[in-house]
Chain A
């Protein structure tokens, strides 16, 4: 069975400093990886997915199959980045559409 691990429950970073939110996964096949974000009093929303290979709000994430990681990075943190971040995995099996989430990391940007 697949598993997603986010080792940091809490992360505080100064405004303007680089951010890295860690995500590791275990799955024997080819996974799809996602980052979801939940801002205060808002619903969970997709931030980015590895197959898109795009940067959203300055965030990027690269799938490293050798290290089974999908860390989320941003070079310069902004106050509006404060939120709860969840890494999620979906298997490549046709018909298996469910997302498996990590426990999340609460990111706080210190002004």
Chain B
């Protein structure tokens, strides 16, 4: 079946602009995660949804970052007033009922802030 998909695959924006990154999880997966991977680093946790609600947003670096999952499926990560330091690959993952199960990752969105 289809895996986790993310759009766009690449996004180039200018400093100060607003961006939205989209994640389509595996159908039926209730848990959804966002991670950020900077160059030379491992993925770093941002936020975790169980259904529609954010169960853990402790990884969001500041209030410019926000994520939603209004219907418990697709999620959007929103970044306001982008900064050059936001440049990274943003990864989405999903897992089936009971987040203790395996997390399946998407291909990522490469965000470049000029």
Interface set of A (CB-CB < 8 Å, partner B): 4, 6, 9, 43-46, 49, 86, 88, 95-104
Contact = CB atoms under 8 A, between A and B. Distances in A.
Given A97-B31, A98-B56, A43 B108 contact: yes
B56 to A, nearest CB: 6
B42 A43 contact: no
A97 B108 contact: no
B99 to A, nearest CB: 4
Interface in B48-82: 48, 55-56, 58-59
A99 B103 CA distance: 9
A58 to B, nearest CB: 20
B108 A98 contact: no
A99 B56 contact: no
Contacts of A86: 42-43
Nearest to A100: B45
29 contacts: A43-B4, A43-B106, A43-B107, A43-B108, A44-B43, A44-B105, A45-B104, A46-B102, A86-B42, A86-B43, A88-B42, A95-B56, A96-B56, A97-B48, A97-B56, A97-B100, A98-B33, A99-B33, A99-B35, A99-B43, A99-B45, A99-B103, A100-B45, A101-B42, A101-B43, A102-B42, A103-B40, A103-B41, A104-B42
Contacts of B48: 97-98
Contacts of B103: 46, 99
Contacts of B33: 97-99
Contacts of B45: 98-100
A46 B43 CA distance: 13
Given A44-B105, A98-B48, 4 more contacts: A4-B42, A97-B99, A98-B56, A99-B103
